[in-house]
A and B are shown apart, each in its own frame.
Chain A
Amino acid sequence: MIAHVAWRLSRRAAVNLWRAPLPSLVSVLTIALALFLGMSFAIGLAFARSLLVSWGAQASITLYLDPATTDDQARALLARVLESEPDADAVYVDRAQALRRLRVDLGDLAGALDGLAQNPLPPTIEVTPRGSPEPAVVRVIAAQLQRLPQVAQVDYGREWLDKLTALGRSLRGFGLGSLIAVLGAALLVVANTIRLAVYARRDEIEIMKLVGATDGYVRMPFLLEGALQGLLGAGLALGSLAAADRWFLPRVQQAFVFASGVAAPQILLSHALLLLGIGALVGLFGSWLAVARFLRT
């Protein structure tokens, strides 16, 4: 009995959707737009995040030592560093090595160094954390190393990392806030569409109730109609995302990959299901709002 009633009610919901396509279309498009924006933003954020992480991995921490440090002291220090940071590689770069490196880096301009009376470069220890630590982890390691003796200064690209982290955080907050706002708007549009549908069929509702339909039975086709709108909207959003993934992202990816080695994000089945679920829920809840209000009066 449940099965054929469910079948009948879903059929009716589909027919009703079909009979008043215009308001339904507005609902569907609004939900699609909301989900498309939300999902693009989430994908962009995930992408930015993996970029950030990959930069974090490249970031090495440079310990500038006191120029008076002897080679023996520096090697002892290197041992301490390796001991205290087992998840990092570290090398000692003495002053002569540092100058040679600078010469190589400068290339044609290296002649300028010949005029120097003495080597101005301090000895350094370069620490490279293994894996892809989060910016926050890099920061903690740097702070620990700062406390070692003979370490004059620690450089880990701090400003970059700090800025990126802050940017990521505020983007996430902004994204979440606007996603909620957009989904809320979609919900209200659905509620309004269903309210119109309820109003257009108030005679039918009255008669259904007079011949003994329960509120649940009256409500069900509208809820299904709302959920259907949500599902269609999510489907549309998924289609657009897939199209963007196919035509637009490859070009963007070309621009980024060589710089970062980070693969472009992919739409997974779980993402698709999540999107469909959210769409259906928004539609369902929107129509529930509309119908609950009507049945109470």
Chain B
Amino acid sequence: MLCEKCRVREATIQYTEVVNGVRTEHNFCAQCASEMDLGQDFPLGRLLSGLLGLGTESPREEKYSQVVCPTCGTSYGDFVKNSRFGCPDCYEVFDLLISDKIKQLQGSDSHKGKTAKNQTEKTERQEERAEAPSDGKDGLEEQIARLYACQQAAVRREDYEEAARCRDEIRKLRTGSETDA
């Protein structure tokens, strides 16, 4: 069997990932395995490419590969290839395309634990809102959900202008009126 990363050398290392009880077998050559540092850092970053269906030439993937983050220029195609984002905004831009995969990979799609204590106005406003009565917050979440649906629909019909507009709206709601730090 050929190594699934380089597809050149013979795979000698069998490697089993279990995420959420789903067992995935991977086969690497010694060189790729050592480059991925199976020992030290988590290699799944690179393996995400496989999960996202790199190499499958479905028309759906092809269409999405044109979606580009306006802040850093990373395209969805780049992300699928490298499993790597270019800037914090990529998370919002590609959210629709990747949230299911992130959930599959991480077993969750929402953060628990420590929060950032950024000393900026932006975060203070965020915190204020987080402490606001829950009905207000629900309204906000609903609005965001609606905008997501709108963005998703826009991406589907390849109307990237409209998708970008929805994204900016979502960003405004999430972070207050500023859009950039």
- Is A bound to B? no
List the interface of chain A (C-beta within 8 A of B): none
